[in-house]
Amino acid sequence: MMKCDNSSDEVELVEVSRAQEGLVRVYERILQIEGSGGAEKNGSVGCRMLAISSQIGALIGKGGVIVDGIRKSTGAKIKVLNKEQLPPCAVPEEELIQYGNEMEWNGYRR
């Protein structure tokens, strides 16, 4: 179980797999390292993840309800990329998900 803070000051518990929890921890660590650089700059941190096509519907939800909720509660930008953007290691049953957050600082954009 992981806690998800949303914009209405409520905390929601969601069930995630150990792999998902590990991915979130890696992503949080990347944000922590990028944010502690001390330089005044703007930047973004993102990640791409392969997922079986049949799981994409669970991420998106009917009418995009689930992915919209994730976007609103986390501020993340999430999209499923075109098949042409799949890496060579992908199998035909996989799709590529890209997600990330803008990190705001007081300087320039990298």
**Could you read off the pLDDT tens digit of each residue along the chain, which spans 110 residues?**
656 655 566 666 767 677 777 777 887 787 777 666 554 455 666 788 899 998 888 888 889 888 888 888 777 888 899 999 999 999 999 999 988 875 443 332 33
**Tokens 């999430």 sit on residue:** 78
Residue 109 structure tokens: 């954009």
Pick the CATH number of 2-109 from 2.30.110.10, 3.40.50.620, 3.60.9.10, 3.30.1370.10: 3.30.1370.10
53-60 vs 65-74: helix crossing angle, rounded to 10: 60
Cα separation, 16 vs 61, in Å, equals 16
pTM of the model: 0.57
- Which tokens go with 15? 């069930």
**Matching residue, tokens 């098949």:** 83
pLDDT of residue 96: 93
| Cβ pair 43, 101 in contact under 8 A | no
* pLDDT given for residue 88 in this prediction: 93
Contact 77, 99 (CB under 8 A): yes
